[in-house]
């Protein structure tokens, strides 16, 4: 019998093996993401960044950073939209991609073309200065820890031979005093550390960040660990690398972490409301008119991104900004 591995260590190993070994996106892969469904998604996020940049006083240079860029599609669409709408912003940009997988780095380089971007293992090596940071379905890939209620206390979940085992918790966070027997409390320790470092950077050097992902609006109990293979639910404890393992993002916890580190947190707002505020439907209609043969596809992709029963409600947008900046586009009504 092998040794038990803490869930977050197992998840980190599984995610690294998974993304190192394949290009999982699209109809033939394991899952489809918003930028792979419609170019309007990346274009709208590029224009979001342009408005934020103007609110910052149009600094040059400006570091545009994407975390977990997948195939590089979002960045390519954002840069094209920016170059058309606001050439001075494109000229001010230095593009950085934070990507762990060597295979995906090569795909991103092919998508963007030579000399467009620089790659990083983490945010730490992005040069100092004002930055706008984007991440779509990045936070859900960061490893979580799970604690399970047993008797009057909590145990921690470890993985051994493809199954959970429970052991005494190692340096647990504050956990609820009361919970039903067997209840699960998740903690995205790695995600909070990431947001803390990012927020410290925004607070001292200026800028903003935007994350889109799936998860509830409020923190709560529950086991959200999940896996996908061939667009179907799979066992998250499967052999590392064979399935895409993720967890729901606790946006409220990340917003608290960000505020404690000195930045303003806006949202989370449902993705459907956010994308509509950014004009995604109008943009999709323009694309449909320009290319009638793919008009149906453009409009159905926009509908899926926005509809509550599609990705419009489960997916949320969270923005973090230097406290002196105005509320970013799409978040005007949500107080910081
Ligand atoms: N944003 C893309 C891809 C989402 S999949 C899209 O929407 O299509 C998650 C991405 O995050 C992949 O590119 C994966 O390789 C990357 N990733 C996962 N964990 C990471 C980590 N710890 N550091 C850097 N990149 C990571």
Residue 77, CA distances (Å) to 224, 251, 329 in order: 31, 26, 18
pLDDT > 90 fraction of the chain, expressed in percent and rounded:
90
Distance 70 CA to ligand 1 centre (A): 6
Residue 312 banded pLDDT, cuts 50, 70, 90: very high
Give the 3-state DSSP-derived string for the chain, with helices as H, strands as E and coil as C.
CCCCEEHHHHHHHHHHHHHHHCCCECCCCCECCHHHHCHHHHHHHHHHHHHHHHHCCCCCCEEEEEECCCCCHHHHHHHHHHHHHCHHHHHHEEEEEECCCHHHHHHHHHHHCCCCEEEECCHHHCCCCCEEEEEECCHHHCCCEEEEEECCEEEEEEEECCEEEEEECCCCCCCCCCCCCCCEEEECHHHHHHHHHHHHHHHHHCEEEEEEEECCCCCCCCCCCEEEECCEEECCCCCCCCCEEECCCCHHHHHHHHHHCCCEEEEEEEHHHHHHHCCHHHHHHHHHHHCHHHHHHHHHHHHHHHCHHHHHCCEEEEEEECCCCCCCCCCCCCCC
Strand partners, 147: 156, 185
pLDDT at 304 over 60: yes
CATH code 3.40.50.300 for 31-141+189-215+250-334:
no
Out of 61-65, 149-153, 207-211, 292-296, least confident range: 292-296
End-to-end CA distance of the chain: 50
Strand partners, 185: 147
Lining ligand 1 with CB less than 6 A are 15, 19, 25, 33, 35-36, 68-70, 74, 98-101, 104, 136-138, 141
Distance 235 CA to ligand 1 centre (A): 20
pTM of the model: 0.97
pLDDT at 242 over 60: yes
Q: Are strands 117-120 and 93-98 parallel, antiparallel or unpaired?
A: parallel
Strand partners, 3: none
Contact of 69 with 90, CB cutoff 8 Å: no
pLDDT of 334 reads 57
pLDDT at 336 over 50: no
pLDDT of 1 reads 65
Residue 135, CA distances (Å) to 151, 209, 268 in order: 39, 8, 14
**Tens digits of per-residue pLDDT, 117-166?**
999 999 999 999 999 999 999 999 999 999 999 999 999 999 999 999 99
Distance 154 CA to ligand 1 centre (A): 31
Closest CA to 206 of 330, 43, 61: 61
Return the residue whose CA atom lies nearest to atom 20 of ligand 1. Answer: 100
Question: Distance between CA atoms of 136 and 282, rounded to whole angstroms?
Answer: 21
Q: Find all residues with CB under 8 Å of 4, minimum gap 6, and list them.
A: 158, 159, 160, 165, 167
pLDDT at 287 over 70: yes
Domain boundaries, the chain: 31-141+189-215+250-334
Question: Distance between CA atoms of 307 and 315, rounded to whole angstroms?
Answer: 11
Average pLDDT over residues 55-76: 98
Contact of 336 with 265, CB cutoff 8 Å: yes
pLDDT at 27 over 80: no
Distance 100 CA to ligand 1 centre (A): 7
Distance 138 CA to ligand 1 centre (A): 5
Return the residue whose CA atom lies nearest to atom 19 of ligand 1. Answer: 141
Ligand 1 binding pocket mutation candidate from 8, 41, 70, 214 (most atoms within 8 A of CB) = 70
């Amino acid at each position: 019998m092998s040794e038990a591995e803490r869930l977050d260590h197992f998840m980190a190993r599984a995610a690294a093996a998974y993304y190192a070994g394949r290009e999982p996106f699209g109809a033939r892969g394991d899952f489809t993401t918003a930028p792979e469904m419609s170019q309007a998604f990346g274009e709208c996020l590029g224009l979001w960044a342009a408005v934020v940049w103007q609110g910052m006083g149009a600094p040059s240079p400006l570091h545009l950073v994407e975390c977990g860029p997948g195939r590089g599609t979002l960045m390519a669409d954002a840069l094209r939209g920016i170059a058309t709408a606001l050439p001075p912003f494109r000229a001010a940009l230095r593009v950085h991609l934070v990507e762990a997988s060597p295979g995906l780095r090569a795909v991103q380089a092919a998508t963007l073309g030579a000399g467009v971007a620089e790659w990083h293992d983490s945010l730490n090596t992005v040069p100092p200065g004002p930055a706008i940071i984007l991440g779509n379905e990045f936070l859900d890939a960061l490893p979580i820890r799970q604690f399970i209620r047993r008797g009057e206390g909590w145990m921690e979940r470890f993985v051994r031979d493809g199954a959970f085992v429970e052991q005494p918790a190692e340096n647990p966070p504050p956990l609820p005093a009361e919970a039903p027997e067997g209840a699960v409390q998740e903690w995205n320790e790695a995600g909070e550390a990431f947001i803390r470092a990012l927020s410290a950077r925004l607070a001292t050097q200026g800028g903003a960040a935007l994350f889109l992902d799936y998860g509830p609006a409020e923190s709560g109990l529950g086991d959200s660990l999940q896996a996908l293979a061939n667009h179907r639910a799979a066992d998250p404890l499967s052999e590392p690398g064979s399935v895409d393992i993720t967890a729901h993002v606790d946006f409220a916890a990340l917003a608290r972490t960000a505020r404690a580190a000195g930045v303003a947190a806006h949202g989370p707002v449902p993705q459907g409301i956010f994308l509509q505020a950014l004009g995604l439907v109008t943009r999709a209609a323009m694309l449909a008119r320009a290319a009638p043969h793919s008009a149906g596809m453009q409009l159905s992709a926009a509908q899926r991104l926005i509809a509550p029963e599609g990705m419009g409600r489960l997916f949320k947008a969270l923005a973090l900004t230097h406290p002196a900046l105005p509320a970013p586009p799409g978040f005007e009504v949500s107080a910081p």
